[in-house]
Amino acid sequence: MGSEPLSPISPISPGHPIGVFDSGVGGLSILRALRSELPQENFTYLADSGFAPYGERGEAFVVDRARQLAQQLLDDHAIKSLVIACNTATAAAIHLLRAELPGLPIVGVEPALKPALALTRTGSIGVLATRGTLASAKFRTLHESLKEQAQFRLQPCDGLADAIENHDSARTLALCRQYTAGLGNFGAGAGEIDTLVLGCTHYPFALEHLRALLGPAVQLVETGQPVARQTRRLLDSAGLLNPHGAGSVAYRSTGELALLQRSAARWL
């Protein structure tokens, strides 16, 4: 698709599905929250597994994939709104998609630094995220606006999303151990990290490993619920809530559909 403009949106109605895309299965953590908040809505989930992971790709690549996925969801599924269930894609492309598709309600995700500020007692917050997210202008702006209020320790997590994507539990645990150790000491004491932001939608699916490593006292913060609430607000203000939907989900993938279905069965 390259730089070709996105096609105009056909008329949308409350009965049309909500489109959700991610580089792979990580966005299922956002879909889980969306289904809880909006049980009568129908969804189409598109995993770009054939081109995953995004977090270690260049920005131009991620922008191109985001535009292609948005167009596919519009053309093939007549979506009424779009949820970008990927931190890296949100940082790289949401401003462009909103400019090109002004009639489509679009919601993105970003690392939950603001919610973490409300939770921390030690003033020290860890952030696990992809390299692409941490290097983005969008994240830098968010971090700059908040860094005087707490100490944010940032950790790029190469390979972690891929390990989760492929259900590689041993590798996931090893990378979680490596990256949490890289952040420093966790605990309730002065200077210790008491709040950890999961800055990639894949990472909530490593929650069991992170809890085992860090213990119950460290607060883990993800973005699913705020995204779901914002999606409801936008649909409500546009008159697009569906009170009569079946709550169905159609799963699509640019890679192995069976992997996505297996992930959905396990995590949803």
- Which tokens go with 224? 């699913």
Is the sign of the CA dihedral 18, 22, 24, 28 positive or negative?
negative
Residue 157 annotated among the catalytic residues of the structure: no
Contact present, 185 and 116 (Cβ < 8 Å): no
The one catalytic residue among 73, 79, 86, 154: 86
Sheet holding 43-47, edge to edge: 106-107, 81-84, 18-22, 43-47, 249-253
Residue 86 annotated among the catalytic residues of the structure: yes
Residue 141 phi, psi (nearest 5): -65, -45
The one catalytic residue among 52, 200, 220, 249: 200
Cα separation, 15 vs 243, in Å, equals: 9
Beta bridge partners of 83: 20, 107
Cα separation, 87 vs 58, in Å, equals: 14
Catalytic residues: 86, 200
